[in-house]
Amino acid sequence: MADKSFLIDTTKCTACRACQVACKQWNELAAEDPVPTNRGTYENPPDLSATCWVKVQFTENEGDGDTPTWNFVRSSCRHCIDAPCKQAAENADSITIDSDTGAVLFGEGTASESYSKIRLACPFDIPRQGTDGRLYKCTMCVDRVHNDEPPACAKACPSGAITFGDREDILAMADTRLAAVKDDGFPNAATLDQRDVRLVILLADPASMYSLTTRA
Ligand code: SF4
Ligand code: SF4
């Protein structure tokens, strides 16, 4: 099996959050506790957690006149090529790399790692600690991928905003799509950290218009 990657094309995202729900459902993740309260936004929950591994970020920006614009982006672990979280771990078995896909996987051993050290090492602020002490995040649904099924989020996305496949194909697709979006009137369009991560995000607008932690 070839190295895998995602392309998240925000120009196609409608913020339906089917990806969030599909992740919860496939991975049998509990509902958020406490139940999030209404914060005056459709974004929910407010943050990633040990039971929320995929989150769609909503950012309200100034538009033309009185009408604001929304920018949406699906965020989760980027499955970094040289994962800083793994480099920060004390024990090699705590965080492993799936040899088939390249997915970065948190194991039971993360319970004995320093949460603050692992979380601080992540450039995207992804790991979260569960009540059992373990650290949790997106698994790339490797159980599905090993059975030739796409990750649950990619399967659920109704608008084609999430593409999953062989890394070389995804990188080529990202380049092609970026050129098309720029031609379409978005000169600031960019793909983020494309060579360093397995979750490549394509933005139409400047990164400052999305609530997104990016690599420094
Ligand atoms: S995004 Fe963070 S948690 Fe995921 S592989 Fe990279 S460093 Fe690790
Ligand atoms: S399922 Fe697709 S369209 Fe819906 S929020 Fe997720 S990425 Fe966006």
Which domains are present in the chain?
A: 1-216 (3.30.70.20)
pLDDT value for 42: 86
Distance 95 CA to ligand 1 centre (A): 10
List the pLDDT tens digit at each of the 216 positions of the chain. Answer: 889 999 999 999 999 999 999 999 999 999 998 899 988 888 899 999 999 999 999 999 988 788 888 999 999 999 999 999 999 999 999 999 999 999 999 999 999 999 999 999 999 999 999 999 999 999 999 999 999 999 999 999 999 999 999 999 999 999 999 999 999 999 999 999 999 999 999 999 999 999 887 655
pLDDT value for 106: 98
Distance 91 CA to ligand 2 centre (A): 36
pTM of the predicted model as reported, rounded to 2 decimal places: 0.95
Q: Following DSSP, what letter does each residue of the chain receive, concatenated? A: ---EEEEEEGGG-----HHHHHHHHHTTPPPPSSPPPP-SSS--SSS-BTTB--EEEEEEE--STT--EEEEEEE-----TT-HHHHH-SSTTTEEE-TTT--EEE-GGGGGS-HHHHHHH-TT---EE-TTS-EE---TTHHHHTTT---HHHHH-SSS-EEEEEHHHHHHHHHHHHHHHHHTT-TT-EEESTTT-SEEEEESS-GGGS------
Q: Which ligand is closest in space to the CA of residue 71?
A: 2
Q: Which residue is closest in CA terms to ligand 1's atom 7?
A: 122
Does 16 sit in the ligand 2 pocket, CB within 6 Å?
yes
Does 154 sit in the ligand 2 pocket, CB within 6 Å?
no
To test ligand 1's pocket by mutation, which of 53, 79, 213 has the most ligand atoms within 8 angstroms of CB? 79
Distance 187 CA to ligand 2 centre (A): 23
Does 209 sit in the ligand 2 pocket, CB within 6 Å?
no
To test ligand 2's pocket by mutation, which of 10, 17, 70, 138 has the most ligand atoms within 8 angstroms of CB? 17
Distance 80 CA to ligand 1 centre (A): 6
